[in-house]
Amino acid sequence: MSAPSIHADAPPEVVCDPEGLQYETGPQLGKGGFAICHRAKLLGHEHLGSNTVALKIVKSKMEPAKLAQKFVTELQIHSKLAHPNIVEFYRAFSFRSSTYVVLELCENGSLADAIKKRRYFTMPEIRRFMIQTCGAIKYLHQRNIVHRDLKTGNLFLDENMNIKVGDFGLAALLVSQNDFGAIRRTTMCGTPNYLAPEVLEKTGRGHDEKVDLWAIGIMMYTLAVGRAPFHAPKREDIYRKLKAREYSWPALEKFSNEITDDLKDIVSCLLVAEDDRPSPDHIVGHPFFKLGYIPLQLDSSCAARVPKWS
């Protein structure tokens, strides 16, 4: 018999924080490798209107050192951030030996959930999502913070379909200077399909905020095509393909999404050696963003269905 999953455990009906705030737990929103997330209502604050939050419950059976490391980073970094396109961090606390993180609720789930339903996104939607993402990344990089795990599963959508970058469990604050005067990290982390080549190269030179720019290129391809550019069933094949930058675009006649040459060009500008990748400001200055339609707003139905532009 296999061990019971921790995800099967329902959270208490009411969770209390040390300041006396009470959260009534609701349906599960999703689960990740480290946590399970529930919708929750802050009791006694109904008059505030936005009293519904996302309550992240940390996997209690995780190896203590790993858990501590992930949550210390998440708390230290995420709690200090304030940007319209970053999931708002409200507080973290322990209750009956579980750790809880209270976050802004993103009603429309993640872009990864939406891709499963939609298969691909149109060029106007990608422009809107990526301009917002670039704004959040610029904000992080200006503060010497590298997200390091940017992927469609960590880009959430609020009730107005605005991007909210979340999950800062692998984020890093670049603090030490290396021999070249630049600040770099050497730990290998991230999700295989999104890893930048320099993370794989064990040269000891380390890597820096440029890994997030590579991930933006991977996300743009993924949003347009419905799968990552270097996707392969085996991890070794993903790594081989990404080292060789071996990817192709689906043939037009076999694919219903109209992928513009400008999108292909910006992706090819991002999937290059780290020093050649454009900054978030340069990315949004590319003709893909400058010359094409950008919707001022998107309807929630876009999380599940292709919109019709009138």
Residues in 23-42 that interact with ligand ADP by CB under 6 A: 29-35, 37
Query: Which residue's CB atom is positioned nearest to ligand ADP?
Result: 30
Of 218 and 283, which has the nearer Cβ to ligand ADP?
Answer: 218
The tokens describing 233, both together, are 């069933």
Beta bridge partners of residue 39, listed in sequence order: 54
Total site size for ligand ADP, rule CB under 6 A = 21
Of 26 and 206, which has the nearer Cβ to ligand ADP?
Answer: 26
Stretch 67-106: interaction string toward ligand ADP, x if CB under 6 A: --------------------x---------------xxxx
CB of 74 to ligand ADP, least distance (A): 8
Instruction: Count Cα neighbours of 142 within 13 Å in the Cβ-side half-sphere.
Output: 11
Asked if 11 is part of the footprint of ligand ADP (rule: CB under 6 A), the reply reads no
Asked if 206 is part of the footprint of ligand ADP (rule: CB under 6 A), the reply reads no
Stretch 125-154: interaction string toward ligand ADP, x if CB under 6 A: ----------------------------x-
Of 98 and 178, which has the nearer Cβ to ligand ADP?
Answer: 98
The tokens describing 257, both together, are 């999404």
**Contacts (Cβ under 8 Å, ≥6 apart) of 223:** 111, 115, 120, 121, 125, 126, 129, 130, 152
Instruction: Quote the CA–CA distance of 85 and 104 in Å, as a whole number.
Output: 11
| Annotated active-site residue in 113, 149, 167, 212 | 149
Segment interacting with ligand ADP (CB under 6 A) among 43-51, 162-170, 240-248, 289-297: 162-170
The DSSP result for 7-64, as a single string, is GGSPPPSEEE-TTS-EEEEEEEEEE-SSEEEEEEEETT-GGGS--EEEEEEE-TTS-H
**Contacts (Cβ under 8 Å, ≥6 apart) of 269:** 217, 277, 278, 286
CB of 269 to ligand ADP, least distance (A): 29
CA angle 299, 302, 303 (to 5 degrees): 115
The tokens describing 111, both together, are 């872009």
CB of 176 to ligand ADP, least distance (A): 26
Instruction: Count Cα neighbours of 303 within 13 Å in the Cβ-side half-sphere.
Output: 19
Asked if 190 is part of the footprint of ligand ADP (rule: CB under 6 A), the reply reads no
Of 127 and 147, which has the nearer Cβ to ligand ADP?
Answer: 147
Of 83 and 240, which has the nearer Cβ to ligand ADP?
Answer: 83
Asked if 192 is part of the footprint of ligand ADP (rule: CB under 6 A), the reply reads no
Active site residue 275: no
Instruction: Quote the CA–CA distance of 232 and 228 in Å, as a whole number.
Output: 9
Asked if 167 is part of the footprint of ligand ADP (rule: CB under 6 A), the reply reads yes
Asked if 169 is part of the footprint of ligand ADP (rule: CB under 6 A), the reply reads yes
Of 170 and 196, which has the nearer Cβ to ligand ADP?
Answer: 170
23-61 exposure pattern, b = at least 16 Cβ within 10 A, e = fewer: bbbeeebbbeebbbbbbbbbeeeeeeeebbbbbbbbbee
**Sole binder of ligand ADP in the list 166, 190, 217, 280 (CB under 6 A):** 166
User: Which residues bind to ligand ADP, rule: CB under 6 A?
Assistant: 29-35, 37, 54, 87, 103-106, 109-110, 153, 156, 166-167, 169
The residues carrying an active-site annotation are 149
